[in-house]
Chain A
Amino acid sequence: MTQAVPTILILSVIANFLALGSSNLRALIRAVAIQGLLLSVFPLAFAHSPSLRLAMLVAVSATVKGFVIPATLFRALREVHIRHEAEPYLGLVPSVLLCAVGTGLALLFAGYLPLADEHRGLLIVPAALSTFLTGFLLLTTRRKAISQVTGYLTLENGIFVFAQLLHEAMPFLVEVGVLLDLVVGIFVMGIVMNHIQREFSSLDTERLSELRD
């Protein structure tokens, strides 16, 4: 099954570029949802002996990342009546270029890290680092709370990819880490987003700029 691994990872790295390059919030949410779905099936392709436990992790993560969160974000988008342009601090083209450079560096850096025999040649480490970096870029260079949440999701996706390397050796760390981070993080962000919306009647974090030195 591991032949499918590089394909899935390359597709998800392409989703990174789609997410960073989309000028429309809907397209951004869609790109991140597709990536979430793709990566959710990734453990099945990667694991040597798929178990029920793994299948459950896959099901939960696919539902949350592929459907629940995107649906919530789309609903928030409908309700707040903000313009749907992404409005980044850093232009779309520079951020895509930055991501390309980052992906290259991730490939180089991953070359220095030793891997177990069964993990060689699968592109897992560079894909994880590149996705993590994309999430970081989305979080820091975007103005709207919604795109920041998608950034956080992408960050999570990056960790999820890397975590698969350890799933058989330390299932507890991986499952608890991934699920807790995802569910609780999004839950709390949802609450805060709700309050932002009520307080400012908008989800533009640009207005959150009163506190400065």
Chain B
Amino acid sequence: MAPPEDLEDLDPGRARERTGLAWTRTAIAFGAVGAAVLKTNIAAGLTVVGLSVVIWTVSRFFPDPAGSDVRPRQLLLVTMTVVAVALVALAVVLLGHPSSGVHAPKG
């Protein structure tokens, strides 16, 4: 099979590649939030880091949003994941021990 003459035919405007990168950035953002939460609450932090793996997996195993009416369920999953992270953060903030901050003055 001859390769396509123009890459544009395969991926117009490199839209597919840019969207893949956007998914990667989103998964990395989850990982960063998870690392931040790890500092204060190990269980919650590990959960959020696990969610970043879920986001990454969603983008890897369902790689083609073109055609049909794009994966609303996967996007809803991402939305619910962010909401879950927000709820975990609220619980940590409201129910956790009051923190003295990372640079609290001594004495």
Whether both chains belong to one complex is answered with no
